[in-house]
Amino acid sequence: MRGKLIVFEGLDRAGKSTQCERLVESLRSEGHRVRHMRFPDRSTPIGQMINDYLKGQSEQEDHVIHLLFSANRWEAATSIRADIEAGTTIVIDRYYYSGCVYSAAKNNPILNLEWARHPEEGLPRPDICIFLDISPADAAKRGGFGGEKYENQQMQDRVRQLFSQLQSSSEKDDFATIDAGGSLDEVQLNVLQVAWRAIERVDAEGLPLRFV
**55 DSSP 8-state letter:** T
Site string for Mg ion, 9-48 (x = CB under 5 A): -------xx-------------------------------
Q: How far is the CB of 83 from ligand ADP (least distance, A)?
A: 23
Q: How far is the CB of 188 from ligand 2DT (least distance, A)?
A: 19
Burial class (CB in 10 A: 0-12, 13-18, 19+), 82: exposed
Assess contact for 128 and 198: CB atoms under 8 A: yes
**18 is a contact residue toward ligand ADP (CB under 6 A):** yes
> Is the CA virtual torsion 118, 79, 130, 196 positive or negative?
positive
CA atoms within 13 A on the CB side of 111: 19
Give the one residue of 82, 184, 189, 207 binding ligand ADP; rule: CB under 6 A: 184
- Can you tell me the distance from the alpha carbon of 201 to that of 95, in angstroms, rounded to the nearest whole number? 22
Using CB distances below 5 to 8 A depending on partner kind, what does residue 47 bind out of ligand ADP, Mg ion, ligand 2DT, none? none
From 25-33, 92-100, 127-135, 176-184, span contacting ligand 2DT (CB under 6 A): 92-100
**83 is a contact residue toward ligand ADP (CB under 6 A):** no
Q: How far is the CB of 69 from ligand 2DT (least distance, A)?
A: 3
**14 is a contact residue toward ligand ADP (CB under 6 A):** yes
**106 DSSP 8-state letter:** T
**177: three-class secondary structure by DSSP:** strand
**3 DSSP 8-state letter:** -
From 18-26, 79-87, 95-103, 187-195, span contacting ligand 2DT (CB under 6 A): 95-103
